[in-house]
């Protein structure tokens, strides 16, 4: 490809505009391409409209103009209540999209017999992307993503390739807005989790400690809760016998959970100062209930949710307040989210959360109203773009889940990758994805109009004057119609769009 002088000047102008935009970060932070760390300033009070946009940014994968308009029409509180009960929201179009995937409704045995062993992996990832992009049940999808990352399973490990689909559909999704205790039990009985953390092969005379350790450290009470290695040993003893039907056992359904008393470690156990009487499978059930109701679990889960929805460093006072709600509601996710949204800490946290790559990717697809035509080839290509950005669903190898801290993601190369993706997206250079910028800007008659229309479309609000001025100057240079894709890409690459 030969780059003309005109092309070079245009690219130079775009990069200059992008660099200038990077120094005009939202009022709550400072962000530049060469120094990507965010510096929070004292929070500013939000008017009702700004609070609405802020809330939708945090609890959706990107608020579309239609969603913002609906929330304004019925009121933010009513909108959130509706989202908290996703079964009340018609989502037929998204459900219809799932029909194209052949492996979602298969049994693990059927997936295991497939010639294309990677097909269940690809289809689950593609289905997840489509749900996040299109579903009207955005708060639900946001919580599915949160809990799926909390109970993280690396989909490429052995049998997880065929088992993770059921973990998503039967453990995480049914419990994403329910009680933490129920979700914990569902995860503990998930064959994918038991295989991933080696519990399925743990036997009484040689208990494997992987799952017992992560159950306490990552899933419930946290590493700072005071448990000891003896507690890990005792939990691991109690969970021996919790296993998964293998391919050679023709008397049971392949890939199903079952308790095998023959490989269970007999005898009483002592966990966190509590005596667990010998009782086979009931020992594990008692331990799960003990951990779910433990004060440290309330603190640990509340902190993690506050990190996701408020800031990277929520105050101890905020976490304590949310932990009280967690305890009093018996870990009810709906009650917790109501309290979180109403908290002063949340209302004053605009600009304090940086989008993870998946958040950026899906929000860009949503606000540009991108149409996605997935076949196997297109699905693989779309996942390649996510891989370049750094976060394909279910592909984090360690059991701690993808990081949710700005300092991990806001690198110079990471920001450039986002800019490149935004430009590819709005210029329709991503296979199977189409954006109609002409439709989005059909009512714009001037450079100022184009900048404002696209700002409202992508951000839910107008750009601040300094950033707006930079883009209007760029839009006014040369042919306006030819500049529209660049303007759109610059907004998607700007620090304003990087914030949740």
Q: What is the 3-state secondary structure (H, E, C) of 279-325?
A: CCHHHHHHHHHHHHCCHHHHHHHHHHHHHHHCCCCCCHHHHHHHHHH
Supply the mean pLDDT for the chain.
92
pLDDT at 246: 86
pLDDT at 252: 78
- In this structure, is residue 494 part of a structural domain? yes
- In this structure, is residue 421 part of a structural domain? yes
pLDDT tens readout for residues 396-451: 999 999 999 999 999 999 999 999 999 999 999 999 999 999 999 999 999 999 99
- In this structure, is residue 430 part of a structural domain? yes
Task: Mean pLDDT check: name the lowest of 221-230, 252-261, 267-276.
Answer: 252-261
| Percentage, residues of the chain above pLDDT 90 | 86
- Residue 154 banded pLDDT, cuts 50, 70, 90: very high
Angle at alpha carbon of residue 194, lines to 280 and 384, rounded to 5°: 170
pLDDT tens readout for residues 173-229: 999 999 999 999 999 999 999 999 999 999 999 999 999 999 999 999 999 999 999
Q: Please, which residues have CB within 8 angstroms of residue 387's CB and are 6 or more apart in sequence? A: 395
- In this structure, is residue 368 part of a structural domain? yes
- Residue 37 banded pLDDT, cuts 50, 70, 90: very low
- Residues 250 and 254: their CA atoms lie apart, in Å, by 8
- In this structure, is residue 11 part of a structural domain? yes
Q: Which domain holds residue 455?
A: 5-38+357-390+410-498
> What does DSSP say about strands 269-271 and 274-276: parallel, antiparallel, or unpaired?
antiparallel
- In this structure, is residue 186 part of a structural domain? no
- In this structure, is residue 126 part of a structural domain? no
- Residues 90 and 105: their CA atoms lie apart, in Å, by 21
- Residues 332 and 236: their CA atoms lie apart, in Å, by 27
- In this structure, is residue 426 part of a structural domain? yes
The SS3 of residue 99 is helix
How many distinct structural domains can be found in the chain? 1
């Amino acid at each position: 490809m030969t780059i003309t002088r005109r092309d070079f000047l245009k690219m130079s102008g775009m990069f200059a505009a992008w660099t200038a935009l990077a120094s005009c970060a939202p009022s709550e932070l400072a962000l530049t391409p060469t120094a990507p760390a965010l510096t929070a300033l004292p929070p500013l009070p939000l008017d009702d409209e700004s609070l609405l946009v802020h809330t939708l940014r945090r609890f959706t994968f990107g608020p579309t103009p239609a969603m913002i308009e609906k929330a304004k029409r019925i009121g933010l509180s009513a909108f959130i209540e509706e989202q908290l009960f996703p079964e009340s929201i018609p989502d037929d179009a998204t459900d219809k999209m799932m029909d194209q995937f052949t492996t979602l409704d298969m049994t693990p045995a059927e997936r295991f017999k497939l010639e294309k062993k990677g097909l269940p992996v690809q289809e689950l990832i593609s289905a997840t992307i489509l749900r996040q992009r299109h579903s009207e049940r955005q708060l639900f999808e946001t919580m599915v993503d949160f809990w799926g990352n909390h109970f993280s399973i690396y989909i490429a490990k052995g049998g997880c390739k065929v088992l993770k689909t059921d973990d998503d559909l039967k453990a995480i999704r049914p419990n994403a807005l329910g009680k933490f205790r129920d979700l914990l039990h569902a995860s503990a009985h998930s064959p994918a989790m038991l295989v991933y953390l080696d519990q399925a092969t743990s036997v009484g005379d040689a208990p494997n400690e992987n799952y017992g350790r992560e159950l306490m450290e990552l899933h419930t009470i946290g590493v700072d809760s005071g448990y000891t290695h003896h507690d890990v040993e005792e939990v691991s003893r109690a969970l021996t016998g919790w296993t998964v039907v293998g391919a050679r056992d023709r008397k049971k359904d392949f890939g199903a959970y079952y308790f095998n008393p023959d490989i269970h470690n007999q005898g009483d156990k002592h966990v966190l100062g509590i005596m667990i009487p010998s009782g086979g499978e009931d020992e594990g059930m008692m331990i799960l209930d003990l951990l779910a109701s433990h004060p440290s679990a309330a603190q640990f889960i509340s902190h993690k949710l506050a990190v996701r929805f408020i800031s990277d460093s929520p105050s101890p006072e905020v976490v304590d307040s949310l932990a009280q709600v967690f305890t009093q509601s018996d870990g009810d996710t709906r009650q917790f989210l109501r309290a979180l949204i109403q908290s002063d800490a949340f209302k004053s946290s605009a600009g304090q959360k940086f989008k993870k790559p998946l958040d950026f990717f899906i929000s860009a697809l949503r606000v540009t109203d991108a149409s996605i035509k997935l076949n196997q080839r297109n699905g693989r290509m779309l996942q390649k773009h996510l891989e370049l950005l750094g976060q394909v669903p279910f592909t984090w190898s360690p059991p701690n889940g993808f990081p949710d801290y700005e300092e991990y993601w806001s690198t110079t190369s990471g920001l450039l990758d986002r800019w490149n993706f935004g430009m590819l997206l709005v210029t329709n250079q991503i296979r199977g994805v189409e954006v109609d910028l002409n439709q989005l800007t059909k009512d714009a008659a001037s450079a100022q109009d184009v900048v404002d229309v696209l700002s409202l479309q992508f951000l839910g609000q107008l750009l601040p004057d300094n950033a707006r001025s930079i883009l209007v100057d760029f839009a006014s240079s040369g042919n306006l119609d030819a500049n529209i894709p660049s303007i759109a890409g610059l907004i998607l690459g700007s620090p304003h769009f990087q914030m949740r």
